[in-house]
Amino acid sequence: MLNKQHSPSDALKTRASVFAALGDETRLSVLAKLCDGQRQSISRLTSGTNLSRQAVTKHLRVLANAGVVRSVRIGRESLFELEPRPIEEVRNYLDQVSKQWDDALARLKSHVEG
Amino acid sequence: MSDRIEKTIELNAPVSRVWRALTDHDEFGTWFRVRLDGPFVPGQVSRGQITYPGYEHLRWEAVVQKMEPERLFSFTWHPYAIDPTQDYSGEPSTLVEFTLESTATGTLLRVVEAGFDKLPSNRRLEAFRMNDGGWSQQIQNIARHVEQAA
């Protein structure tokens, strides 16, 4: 879709990676655990799941690369927390795509009815 | 959470007229604002140049999927592809489907754009709803948005 937002290519990459990061149920289950806004350790994120610590670590890395999770080092431990802004950006993007379709269909309407 | 944007519009024109406006590449270009290099052919890449004011530097590229006369027209493309210097071939593409239905007054046209992400099942969405955090609120905002987009 023709995107009317003047985004630098970095923002585009981010958006695509957010979509990709969200497109995996395991990663979403990891994210779900971070939804309460609390920082959590890998151990805590792994407990109660049938995922290995390595798997959780791998998924956290994808989420961190997409910018939706941030790691914070507290003493010797790394804790993970949510970063909601990229999600908001994606939502704005969908708003734009939606608006563009409204505009295009309005033009189609005058085209066929004219 | 849905991975689709869905629009429905009533057009006061017969299905045959709407079909032509969608699938004749010159007519499509008129309202969509793209100058296409050639006709749409299923299975083939469609190329052209955007004519939308301010975006004339952008290329149009899509792969035509289905052309079922007066019923269904679909193509895939890269909806993020607004930077001409980037290679988007490895990024997710979306599927755009135009479905036509004859009505008493003309044509009911439905447009669905799907595949922005391989989004979670409803079951997974329930897991998000059980949380009160800001992030789950965002997810719900997205869900509400795409559900309202119809």
The number of distinct structural domains making up chain A is 1
Which is more confident, B122 or A110? A110
Whole-number pLDDT of residue B142: 39
Question: Is residue B102 located within the same domain as residue B124?
Answer: no
Q: How far is CA A21 from CA A31, A75, B130, in A?
A: 10, 28, 21
CA angle A107, A109, B1 (to 5 degrees): 80
A102: in domain: yes
Measured distance CA(B129)–CA(A102) in Å, rounded:
29
Q: Specify burial of residue A52 (Cβ count, 10 A radius: 0-12, 13-18, 19+).
A: exposed
Non-local CB neighbours of A19 within 8 Å, separated by 6+ positions: A90, B92, B116, B117
* Residues in A touching B77 (Cβ below 8 Å): 1
Q: Is the pLDDT of residue A100 over 80?
A: yes
Question: Is residue B148 located within the same domain as residue B130?
Answer: yes
Question: Is residue B72 located within the same domain as residue B141?
Answer: no
Measured distance CA(A47)–CA(B139) in Å, rounded:
24
- DSSP 8-state symbol, B57: T
Task: Write down the mean pLDDT value for chain B.
Answer: 76
pLDDT digits (tens, 9 = 90+) for B19-55: 999 999 999 999 999 999 999 999 999 999 989 888 8
A44: in domain: yes
Question: Is residue B128 located within the same domain as residue B104?
Answer: no
pLDDT digits (tens, 9 = 90+) for A26-35: 888 888 888 7
Question: Is residue B114 located within the same domain as residue B89?
Answer: yes
Q: Is the pLDDT of residue B135 over 70?
A: no
Question: Is residue B106 located within the same domain as residue B131?
Answer: no
- How many of the other CB atoms lie within 10 Å of CB of B98? 21
A1: in domain: no
Helices (H), B24-132: 25-32, 122-129
Measured distance CA(A31)–CA(A22) in Å, rounded:
9
Which is more confident, B86 or B74? B74
Question: Is residue B127 located within the same domain as residue B74?
Answer: no
pTM (two decimals): 0.66
- Residues shown for chain A: 114
Chain B (97-136) residues lying within 8 Å, Cβ to Cβ, of chain A: 109, 111, 113, 116-121, 124, 127-128, 131-136
| Residue of B31, B78, B97, B132 to mutate, interface with A, max A Cβ within 10 Å | B31
A2: in domain: no
Question: Is residue B108 located within the same domain as residue B130?
Answer: no
Question: Is residue B49 located within the same domain as residue B111?
Answer: yes
Question: Is residue B95 located within the same domain as residue B133?
Answer: no
- Does any CB of chain A come closer than 8 Å to the CB of residue B89? no
Q: Searching chain A, which residue's CA lies closest to the CA of residue B139? A: A87
Residue ranges making up the domain that contains B112: 4-119
Residue ranges making up the domain that contains A87: 9-113
- A42: CATH: 1.10.10.10
A97: in domain: yes
Please give the full DSSP string across A21-86, using - where no structure is assigned. Answer: HHS-HHHHHHHHHTTT---EEHHHHHTTSS--HHHHHHHHHHHHHTTSEEEEEETTEEEEEE--HH
The number of distinct structural domains making up chain B is 2
> Percentage of chain B surpassing pLDDT 70?
65
| Residue of B86, B93, B117, B130 to mutate, interface with A, max A Cβ within 10 Å | B117
Question: Is residue B134 located within the same domain as residue B92?
Answer: no
Whole-number pLDDT of residue A64: 93
Give the CA radius of gyration of chain B: 18
- B65: CATH: 3.30.530.20
Q: How confident is the model at residue A38 (pLDDT cuts 50, 70, 90)?
A: confident
